[in-house]
Amino acid sequence: MALHIVLIGPPGSGKGTQAVRLARRYRLPHISTGDILRQAVRDDTPLGREVAATIAGGGLVSDELIANLVSDRLARADTAPGFLLDGFPRTLTQAHLLDRLRSDLLVVHIAASNEEIVKRLSSRRICQSCSLTQSGSQADDCPYCGGLLIRREDDEPETVRKRLATYAALAEPLLALYSARPGYIAVNGLQSPDQVTADLFAALDARR
């Protein structure tokens, strides 16, 4: 049975890690809207040229144009076993457009409270020398290369809260829509990454 997965989760929830693991486990193409936009522009398709012109003019790519790009991508042969959508839909309009393409979606929500995410991200440090990220480190020096560990600007608590507020404004209507459907799966994103992965595998295997 093909798996058609939509992955939703706030910044800092570990969504990127889980997307890679899910795509590898179920041999699904990991499809992100950012990748689709860049590829369409590189391929110089009619839609790609429309995207390039919109961006060059300082405009925002419309929901309909994004949906058309996603539709083209989902029509490719590599999506026969299913797909994992990351970053689409972002709005209710996009969700309704996606419904026209697929009616058998599994919506995976990696849930985590805002304050726990603020704690998690504000405790991250990145090495100025080798760029390795350390989570929850209290040390000043990188354990691998000895470089200085610093907090990234976008991991400052107030910056994280702003990012979460932006995410919530977009995600809450989507979650209200999808959580009422039988294909909705929620897991606790504050567990260890391996436990989150185990819970996701168990939930998805039960739906196959």
Q: Are 83 and 4 in contact (CB under 8 A)?
A: yes
Query: Is 136 a residue whose pLDDT tops 70?
Result: no
Q: Which of 72, 71, 77 is nearest to 94 (CA)?
A: 71
Query: Is 181 a residue whose pLDDT tops 90?
Result: yes
Calpha distance 13→141 (Å, rounded): 26
User: What is the pLDDT at residue 205?
Assistant: 94
* pLDDT above 90 as % of the chain: 43
Query: Among the options 73, 120, 125, 163, which is catalytic?
Result: 163
Query: Among the options 24, 76, 152, 208, which is catalytic?
Result: 152
Q: pLDDT tens across 61-101, in order?
A: 788 888 888 998 999 999 999 999 998 998 899 999 999 99
Query: Is 137 a residue whose pLDDT tops 70?
Result: no
Which residue ranges make up each domain of the chain? 3-207
Per-residue pLDDT band for 148 (boundaries 50, 70, 90) equals confident
Calpha distance 168→77 (Å, rounded): 34
Query: Among the options 15, 73, 120, 125, which is catalytic?
Result: 15
Active site residue 124: yes
Per-residue pLDDT band for 206 (boundaries 50, 70, 90) equals very high
Active site residue 152: yes
Q: pLDDT tens across 11-59, in order?
A: 888 898 899 999 999 999 999 887 888 888 888 888 888 888 887 777 7
Query: Is 180 a residue whose pLDDT tops 80?
Result: yes
Q: pLDDT tens across 95-133, in order?
A: 999 999 998 999 999 999 898 888 888 877 788 787 777
Query: Is 153 a residue whose pLDDT tops 80?
Result: no
Q: Are 70 and 36 in contact (CB under 8 A)?
A: yes
Active site residue 162: no
Q: Are 14 and 22 in contact (CB under 8 A)?
A: no
What are the two backbone dihedrals, phi and then psi, of residue 126, each rounded to the nearest 5 degrees?
-125, 140
Whether the CA torsion 188, 192, 198, 200 is positive or negative: it is: positive
**CATH architecture of the domain with residue range 3-207:** 3-Layer(aba) Sandwich (3.40)
pTM across the whole model: 0.81
